[in-house]
Amino acid sequence: METKAGAELFSCSDCPRAFAGRRDYNPHRKKHDRPYQCHICAAKFALNADLKRHTARHKKSNVKLSCPESGCVFTAIRKDHILRHFRKVHGQSSKDLGNTGLRAPQTHGSNNLKLYEGVDLDFEMLQAAGQGDPKALTALISRGGSITTTGELGQTPLHVASKMGHVATVRLLLELGADINSRDKDEQTPLLWAVEGGSDGVVALLLDEGAHSDSKYYFHSNTPLMCAAKNGYTSAVKLLLDKRVDFTDSPTLAWAAENGHTDVIQLLLSKGANVESLGGSWDCTPLACAATNGHMDAMELLLNKGANIEARSKYTGWTPLHVAVMGGHIAALELLLGKGANTEARDRSARTALLVATERGHIGVVELLLGKGARDWMT
């Protein structure tokens, strides 16, 4: 794709936005990819600085630890700093601590904070679950830690262990009585966290133990099956379909198409998915969703399955041609035009594909449409 000046235009694969240079495109991409993940609650962030600020909020109680050596007044918030001090100043290793543990010189006014030798048990429970450490969890529970404790997102240790894919830890928590269908502040269950984390092993375990496979949460009323389809987790989709989840008219197929997951599309169609069901970011048909990001293989597959090339989106009245124009996807446009797409179709704002292309400055798209017989929208 090219801009007016002929420079390369960078289009986002996860939304219709496009950028004139990598300087603007790369930060935008990180908002989708979110490469930095909290090991306590599994939340993801675009920037490492955001992750550090988030982790600091987990430790907002500011419980200070003090050196266990008699007469020493050294204190620190981080356990590893205490151990390093203990080794360098007192010439002893962490093993020499024995059963004395670390001391908390003071509690900082938190009535509901559970402390054990200077340790915030709520924080440590979530951390042990995120790191997949059953032994640490068992030890913390013996000291008063609770499997029902929650973090700032409302997540329990079971949520965290599920998303991080720790099968043994999840099994332990379930054996100890953790609620398999507990919900966080966004109404997400551990199964939804497991699906988002891409852990087939945990998904299978939770389903076998009776997790609700049709539970929804507020964002687009997403179900575990929709999350799996959106992320292209074919194995998880199969596991959920085996539970006979009703999805034929749900947005599941549209989400798979929007992200170009052809294996998932084929699987859903083979199980009876409606090729005209609306969904995705713009409440379009699966064909239009695939055109949003220019996923050619997905578009060809859906067209071969009889997808309506003139189907409209729910709220805007966009056809697949409108959507492809918005993203400036020339190959997708050529495919649709080759199949006879109507260049004069108007959305609910009376805009043709040519008008949309002109508004967005897609010169190459304008030239293509004019070459295919589209009339100048000004006349």
Confidence at residue 117, expressed as pLDDT on a 0 to 100 scale: 43
Average pLDDT estimate for 64-87: 66
d(CA 250, CA 89): 64
Note the pLDDT tens digit of each residue in 209-232. Answer: 999 987 776 555 688 999 999 999
Band (172; pLDDT cuts 50, 70, 90): very high
Q: Does 67 have pLDDT greater than 50? A: yes
Note the pLDDT tens digit of each residue in 319-374. Answer: 999 999 998 999 999 999 999 999 999 999 899 999 999 988 899 999 999 988 88
pTM of the model: 0.68
Note the pLDDT tens digit of each residue in 273-314. Answer: 999 999 888 889 999 999 999 999 999 999 999 999 999 998
Confidence at residue 314, expressed as pLDDT on a 0 to 100 scale: 85
Band (33; pLDDT cuts 50, 70, 90): low
Confidence at residue 4, expressed as pLDDT on a 0 to 100 scale: 42
Confidence at residue 134, expressed as pLDDT on a 0 to 100 scale: 92
Average pLDDT estimate for 169-188: 93
Confidence at residue 240, expressed as pLDDT on a 0 to 100 scale: 93
